[in-house]
Amino acid sequence: MHPRNAIARLAVAAALACATLTLAQPAHAAGPYERGPDPTDALLEASRGPFSTSEERVSSLVRGFGGGRVYYPDDTSQGTFGAIAISPGYTASWSTLDWLGPRLASHGFVVIGIETNTRYDQPSSRGRQLLAALDWLVEDSSLAVRRRIDPSRLAVAGHSMGGGGSLEAADDRPSLQAAIPIAPWNLTKNWSGVRVPTMIIGGESDSIAPVATHAERFYESIPASSEKAYLELNNASHFFPQITNTTMAKSMVAWLKRWVDDDLRYDQFLCPAPQGLAIEEYRDTCPHS
């Protein structure tokens, strides 16, 4: 046999063996916290996810925060869920963000939207209240859903001073699995101590917490060794979270699924960088470790 033919046959055999090995191995092994069907753009962009939800009021008499509302999936067959606490902004109530409660819960999370102790609480106070709300939810709540919350899979988010508060909470409690500051405002600009996977969402036209002095600076100050993302919405004002925002919700769900649920199916919506008319800029620490 001619040496060149022998080499060619060996190359073909090696390629076939490699292909057979690839086919024999599953593309993705299901993780223990995967909830819901395989995700698609249509699923994440819909007004509701795959789970029906319920909600309950939280009394203002609780300790550490000002009460609020809890939203949770009705399905009791899914095992435990991760939980996220969300704070409104300066002078605002939870009602300004309440569309987010059922939206996130319908993708398999327990959500507590908090009222703050006063409308004028600063970010450091809001950060402590977010953590108090999570502690109440998993330790002191009499809600039946408490037994279905995994206390090791918790997250925080917030708008404006609430977003600044979510950075405070992430800095104070590195065991959190995710943080999502939205149009965040904070006088502190250096967050080099944050180790929690953090997605910062800013608005290009925000004149109250301009991205150049807030969201972008916060993102840049978080070390590259921490998982982080920066999403800037095209032509969005400071108040973009107060009305239904599909791009924001889609990104939040993907980030929470990836880091709270360790659901690798959602990496495709984060890496490579998502694009669209609503997105002015996106940065990320892809590929995720």
Q: Which DSSP state fits 282?
A: E
Q: Which of 87, 124, 160, 251 is catalytic?
A: 160
Is 206 known to be catalytic?
yes
Please list the alpha-helical segments (H only) found in the chain: 3-24, 41-45, 100-105, 123-135, 161-172, 215-221, 246-259
Which class for 212: exposed (0-12), middle (13-18), buried (19 or more C-beta within 10 A)? exposed
3-state DSSP helix/strand/coil % of the chain, to nearest 5 = 35, 20, 45
Tokens of 114: 């908090």
Angle, vertex CA 158, rays to CA 154 and CA 162, nearest 5: 120
User: Cα–Cα distances in Å, from 266 out to 25, 34, 96, 175, 281?
Assistant: 20, 10, 28, 21, 20
Closest CA to 82 of 153, 138, 25, 131: 153
**Could you say which DSSP state residue 43 is in?**
H
Output the six-digit token pair for 161: 């001073």
Indicate if 221 belongs to the active site: no
Given the residues 107, 141, 238, 263, select the one marked as catalytic: 238
Catalytic residue flag (residue 121): no
Omega cis (within 30) before 37: no
Bridge partners of 29? Answer: none
Catalytic residue among 98, 121, 135, 206: 206
List, by residue number, the catalytic residues: 160, 206, 238
